[in-house]
Structure 1
Amino acid sequence: MRSINLHLKILIAVLVLLGASITAYQIFGLGIPITQDETDELWSIDAKVTFTATPHVPVKVQLFVPPLTQGYVSLNESFVSNNYGVNVSRVEGNRQLTWSARRAKGDQTLYYRLVMTKRFGSDKPREEKGAITRDPIVLPEGPERLAAEALVAPIRQHSADVETFISEAIRRVNNVNDDNVKLLLNGDTSTSKRAQIVDLLVSLARVPLEKVHTLRLAAHIQQNPELWLRSYNGKDWIYFNPETGERGLPSDRMIWWSGDGQLLTLDGGRKANVTFTLDSSQMNAIRLAQLTNSSVETAFMDYSLYGLPLQTQQTYQTMIMIPLGVLVILVLRNLIGLQTLGTFTPVLIALAFRETGLQWGIGLFTVITAMGLSLRSYLEHLRLQMLPRLSVVLTFVVVMIAAISLFSHKLGLESGLSVALFPMVILTMTIERLSITWEERGANHALKVAIGTLFAGSLAYLLMKIPQLVYFVFTFPAVLLILVGFMLAMGRYRGYRLTELVRFKALLKED
């Protein structure tokens, strides 16, 4: 017995020491901030390229990537592929990434990842100068030429310089009711076609115009590159929205490439597609400045959870908080003496609360469980076996979830739609175990266990949603080793629980 105790103590000490040492090295050795105070935005951009390779044919994939001369600082740029050669070259002022392979077969997936920040870039984008004049686009004699000239004449009258000329041209081209515009558009009212007509009109005045394709820095939304127009006035680039004529590129736009070239070109394959995933996180501003000129960035980005794909990171930010939720339940049960339906049921309920919110979650859990208990009581009179009974209750839970979601949607209570996130099997087993507890130990004890489960789940939810704690555990996952050591220590606790003071209160009075 002594050898087991000694072994356990040594194991606890090793885990606590290892977790504390790794965390201390990250904080004091690598200088990673322990809080999100004085933070700056760190953007991670994933461009996912998918296509189907043609058998026995060389594959060449070309993708435009950002020029990184817009006041941004790149912390990490990586190209993820399997058995592909990678090369980045300059093409007409753009950076073009080329993946190549002698042979490829079946569906292919390639990734381009850029991790960057804007704070420590130059205040003003370092962009190359552009042309200040150009040759006009020559149109043959015909109705298109007459329509273009008819549009240019009033544009000249209502403009005073290059900026106002382009804005007026955009405004008139977007008036699709104009007969001249209709003729030039020829039934195609897409943004790219209208930009082409604007380019034609301004060329007749020898005004330079260039297409730029931008990405909006917004996390967790699906988007495609957005087309903007720009012109060089001899000093600066002036940007225009081709749909509204608005001047000035918004601060949340990042130029991906410029010109008429296609974002993606593919030789030796088909069904090519590009999807963008953007995510933002916060990092200490002072440390971020150091990372821009330090090799520590490689170790931090590649050998931490921040090196995972973005979607995986978002999943782990939730998963990595589960041990803290379990620790809450462990303390409530072993030290305080709170009675719950097992250890993991309150934690799973807490995970559901992350989407439903605490008030809605408690209400939905209470309604579904109460109605499920009523059904379970009815089924008990039919003397069914356990498996058929559980199947009926599970089906009832699914129907209840669907019904609550439907009625919530009809009543405009969108929060009720998140009831579908409740784990159906957990609800079913909760109903079954509460029913058995009711039969064996009475309604009061079953109600006490149900309230304890809800209380424990709510407390775990409140802890697991603290942003500062989520950041700390995600950035320093070694602290979980310290939690494991604490859990091992609690595993040998045989002392009194706080609630037992109430149980023995009568004996104290007699003494």
Structure 2
Amino acid sequence: MRSLTLHLKIMIAIFLALGIAIISYQIFVLKTPLTESEVDNLWTIDAKINFEVKGTKPVNIEFYIPPKGGDYAISNELFLASGYGQNITVQPYNRLVTWSARSVSGQQTLFYRLNLTKRFSDEIENSAKGEVWRSQIEVAGPEKEAVDRLVKEIRSKSANVSTFITTTINIINDPNNSDAQLLLNNNNSVENKVKAIELILSQAYIPIQQAHTLQLSKSTNQNMMLWIRSYIEPNKTIDNRDSSTNGSNGNWYYFNPLNGSVGLPDDQVVWWIGSRDIVSVENGSKARVNFSLDKSELTAINLAKLTAEGSNLTEYSFYTLPISTQLAYQIMLMIPFGVLIILLLRNVIGINTLGTFTPVLVALAFRETGLSFGIIFFSIIVFFGLLVRSYLEHLKLQMLPRLSIVLTFVVMLIIFVGLFSHKLGFEKGLSISLFPMVILTMTIERLSITWEERGANFALKVAIGTLITASIAYTVMGYQPLIYLVFTFPAILLILVAFMLAMGRYRGYRLLELLRFKALLK
């Protein structure tokens, strides 16, 4: 007996742990929403590329588009370039789209649109690692002396690579530092400051990259922002870095070249990496790019279906099935909850029903008729069916002919009730043809046997208990938030099995029995 109890406890623990583990993975790793109404932002970015071609010439356009694998997932991309061939090249840090045409003339306009969402992104920066060492940029004359003095000053004020970079940025932006102003040469543009920062950092063998970002805010004409980033290994100082190896366990750190702040804000999207222009046109001139951004809200599940990076959520889930199949699976997945209701009502409360699954099947039938009409219809059919069954009992017929006659009368009653309700304007009556006639026939047969064996009062209690149980099961099985949870997190059924296993050893009193034996307790 002990071994059997231990075996049962192990089974319960396995089902419970497995169900919780799968659900936790969906919530925390796949970011599956817990509610169907949960929404998230979907950003739509339009890039309009304009350029001019003098005469008639072959044209080749290269345009940087955002890389995949960042903090934002790309859900959809659209390229509009009529008459142009198109090719997308994936580079270590970038993606580059190339449009080409053999003969083009005059003003040209091309469009690129993409949708971005924070949800379902893997939040992992581009997997390409970065260099942790670089050679020095050659510099001579007064600039050389200024750079040497600056490097010496920065080294004394920094403890590691990150602080060395931020100190360099702060000094370059200091208008009172004569050496920094010498390097800037009265040009305070952000591009020139980045160039000066790179020159200083190269003297300390620190590599950096230019990161061009776009801020996610509703606007019709937005400019790119320039950041710098460096691949930094943990616990590495300026003096103990190995120049013979690339970074293998470091991370990308982003720095604002105007104030030295570390970390890319959440509303910034990295568009491309490098010092090249975002667009370059061969045999074209006056190339420019205008960005327009808009924000909308979609439910998280619709975002998962729309987002390529979110395919982990839907690839092996019920959402990949056809819509009609999904509806059928939703019904089937809710049946165990109907059985759970019956288990609780029978074993804990003590309500008598016609078997275990009959109330569930009646509850499924209520989905077609509605609860109120279904209860009335059920009562009418069972009442007249019992009358027919009682009359046939006097004829001493065998069970199979008797059931056949009852089934025939059930069909006739269904047809009559359907036509009668239609004449009265109750269109719900047209859906009762889907009511499981065999279940009704067996219900009538079992009620009549119960009537004969245990009396009319008990048969009435069983019929009422079946209706009450079916009504509660119908309410639970039709609760939309629960349907969404079970359909999205089917591992809930494993937890349900664990609970049913635990209930299998319940030998205590039922609530109705406590009321029944209340006088005995006194």
TM-score by length of 1: 0.52
Deviation at 1:120? 5.2
Q: C-alpha separation between the residues in 1 aligned to 2:494 and 2:116?
A: 38
Deviations 1:455-502 (Å, cap 9, x if unpaired)? 000000111111111111100000000001111111111111111112
Tell me whether 1:447 sits opposite 2:460 in the alignment.
Answer: yes
Q: Partner residue of 1:18?
A: 18
Give the equivalent residue in structure 2 for 1:431: 444
Structure 1 residue corresponding to 2:339, chosen from 313, 326, 329: 326
Quick one: structure 1 residues 289 and 471, their matched pair in 2 at CA, closer, same or farther if it must change by over 3 Å? closer
Matched, 1:37 2:50: no
Q: Do the aligned residues in 1 keep the contact of 2:36 with 2:300 (CA within 8 Å)?
A: no
Equivalents in 2 of 1:418, 1:119: separation in Å? 46
Aligned equivalent of 1:493, options 506, 509, 517? 506
Q: CA deviation at 1:287?
A: 7.5
Question: Equivalent residue for 1:474?
Answer: 487
Please tell me the residue identity of whatever aligns with 1:317.
Answer: Q
Distance, in Å, in 2 between the alignment partners of 1:20 and 1:439 is 48
**One of 375, 383, 393 as aligned partner of 1:380:** 393
The residue aligned with 1:504 is 517
2:422 pairs with 1:409: yes
Distance in 1 between residues matched to 2:387 and 2:41, nearest whole Å:
51
**Which secondary structure does the structure 2 equivalent of 1:320 belong to?**
helix
Secondary structure of the 1:499 match is: helix
Shift of 1:410: 2.1
Distance 2:4 2:20 in 1: 24
Label 1:285 to 1:394 Cα distance change in 2 as closer, same or farther (>3 A): closer
| Residue 459, structure 1, aligned to residue 472, structure 2 | yes
Aligned to 2:364: 351
Shift of residue 27 of structure 1? Answer: 0.7
Q: What does the per-residue CA deviation read over 1:197-243, in whole Å, with 9 as the maximum and x for residues that have no partner? A: xxxxxxxxxxxxxxxxxxxxxxxxxxxxxxxxxxxxxxxxxxxxxxx
Query: Residues of 2 paired with 1:337 and 1:406: CA distance?
Result: 39
* Cα separation, 2, equivalents of 1:31 and 1:444: 54
- C-alpha separation in 2, matches of 1:39 and 1:339: 44
Pair 1:337 & 2:344 matched? no
**Equivalences for residues 48-447 of structure 1 within 5 A:** 285=299, 295=309, 297-447=310-460
Cα distance change of structure 1 residues 350 and 91 upon mapping to structure 2, 3 Å threshold: farther
Q: Give the distance between the partners of 2:11 and 2:431, measured in 1 at CA.
A: 42
Deviation at residue 292 of structure 1 after TM alignment: 5.9
CA shift in 2, pair 1:74/1:349, >3 Å: farther
Please list every run of 5 or more consecutive structure 2 residues that lacks an aligned counterpart in the other structure: 43-72, 85-112, 118-296
Distance 1:289 1:426, change over 3 A: closer
Q: How far off is 1:38 after superposition?
A: 3.5
Asked if the contact 2:352–2:461 (Cα under 8 Å) also holds between the matched residues in 1, the reply is yes
SS of match in other structure, 2:37:
coil
| Shift of residue 421, structure 1, vs aligned partner | 1.9
Structure 1 pair 438/309, CA: closer, same or farther in 2 (3 Å)? same
The question of whether the paired residues in 2 share the 8 Å contact of 1:336 and 1:498 is answered with yes
Seen in structure 2, the aligned counterparts of structure 1 residues 310 and 37 have a Cα distance that, compared at 3 Å, is: closer
SS at match of 2:511: coil
d(CA) in 1 for partners of 2:305 and 2:421? 48
Any conservation in 1 of the 2:76–2:114 contact (CA below 8 Å)? no
Structure 1 residues 480, 13: closer, same or farther in 2, change over 3 A?
Answer: same
Q: Which moved more, 1:374-383 or 1:496-505?
A: 496-505
Task: Output the amino acid matched with 1:391.
Answer: S
Aligned residues: 284
Q: Sequence identity of aligned pairs in percent?
A: 63
Question: CA RMSD, aligned part only?
Answer: 3.2
C-alpha separation between the residues in 1 aligned to 2:367 and 2:41? 24
Q: In the aligned structure 2, how far is the partner of 1:41 from the partner of 1:379?
A: 67
Q: Distance in 2 between matches of 1:467 and 1:406?
A: 31
Alpha carbons of structure 1 residues 317 and 288: separation in structure 2 relative to 1, 3 Å: closer
Any idea what SS the aligned residue of 2:387 has?
Answer: helix
Partner Cα separation in structure 1 for residue 411 and residue 82 of structure 2 = 56
Contact 1:346 1:454 in 2 (8 A): yes
Any idea what SS the aligned residue of 1:321 has? helix
CA gap of 1:75–1:464, structure 2 versus 1, over 3 A, is farther
User: Residues 304 and 75 from structure 1, CA distance in 2 versus in 1: closer, same or farther, beyond 3 angstroms?
Assistant: farther
Q: Which residue of 1 aligns with 2:49?
A: none
Q: Distance in 2 between matches of 1:12 and 1:119?
A: 48
**Are the counterparts in 2 of residues 37 and 284 from structure 1 also a CA contact under 8 Å?**
no
User: For residue 339 of structure 2, what is the amino acid of its counterpart?
Assistant: V
Q: State the 1:443 CA deviation.
A: 0.7
> Judging changes above 3 Å, is the alpha-carbon distance between structure 1 residues 391 and 75 closer, same or farther for their aligned structure 2 residues?
farther
Task: Give the distance between the partners of 1:305 and 1:290, measured in 2 at CA.
Answer: 13
In structure 2, C-alpha distance between the alignment counterparts of 1:325 and 1:456, rounded to whole Å: 9
Between stretches 451-460 and 499-508, larger displacement belongs to 499-508
Q: Which whole-Å CA distance do the structure 1 matches of 2:332 and 2:394 have between them?
A: 41
Q: 1:357 to 1:288 in 2, by over 3 A?
A: closer
AA of the residue aligned to 1:375? V
Query: 1:9 and 1:317, CA in 2 relative to 1: closer, same or farther beyond 3 A?
Result: same
Question: Partners of 1:287 and 1:415 in 2: how far apart?
Answer: 32
Query: Is the CA contact 2:367–2:474 (under 8 Å) kept in the aligned structure 1?
Result: yes
Q: CA deviation at 1:387?
A: 0.9
Deviation at 1:5, TM superposition (A): 1.3
Structure 1 partner of 2:105 = none
Q: 1:378 to 1:288 in 2, by over 3 A?
A: closer
Query: How many angstroms apart in 2 are the aligned matches of 1:361 and 1:120?
Result: 47
- C-alpha contact 1:36 1:284 (8 A) present in aligned 2: no
Q: Report if the CA contact (8 A) 2:304-2:313 is conserved.
A: no
Which residue of the partner structure matches residue 289 of structure 2?
Answer: none
Against the structure 1 CA distance between its residues 425 and 28, is the aligned structure 2 distance closer, same or farther, given a 3 Å change threshold?
same
Distance, in Å, in 2 between the alignment partners of 1:74 and 1:423 is: 48
Q: Post-superposition shift, 1:415? A: 0.8
Q: Distance in 1 between matches of 2:356 and 2:516?
A: 23
> 1:336-387: CA deviations, max 9, x gaps?
1110001111001111111211100000000000000000000000000111
Cα displacement string for residues 8-57 of structure 1 (whole angstroms, at most 9, x for unaligned residues): 11011100110111011101111111012343799xxxxxxxxxxxxxxx
Structure 2 distance, partners of 1:469, 1:76, is 31
Q: Distance in 1 between matches of 2:7 and 2:445?
A: 40
Distance 2:343 2:449 in 1: 23
Instruction: Provide the rounded CA distance (Å) in 2 between the counterparts of 1:432 and 1:379.
Output: 11
Distance 1:400 1:502 in 2: 39
The aligned counterpart of 1:483 is: 496
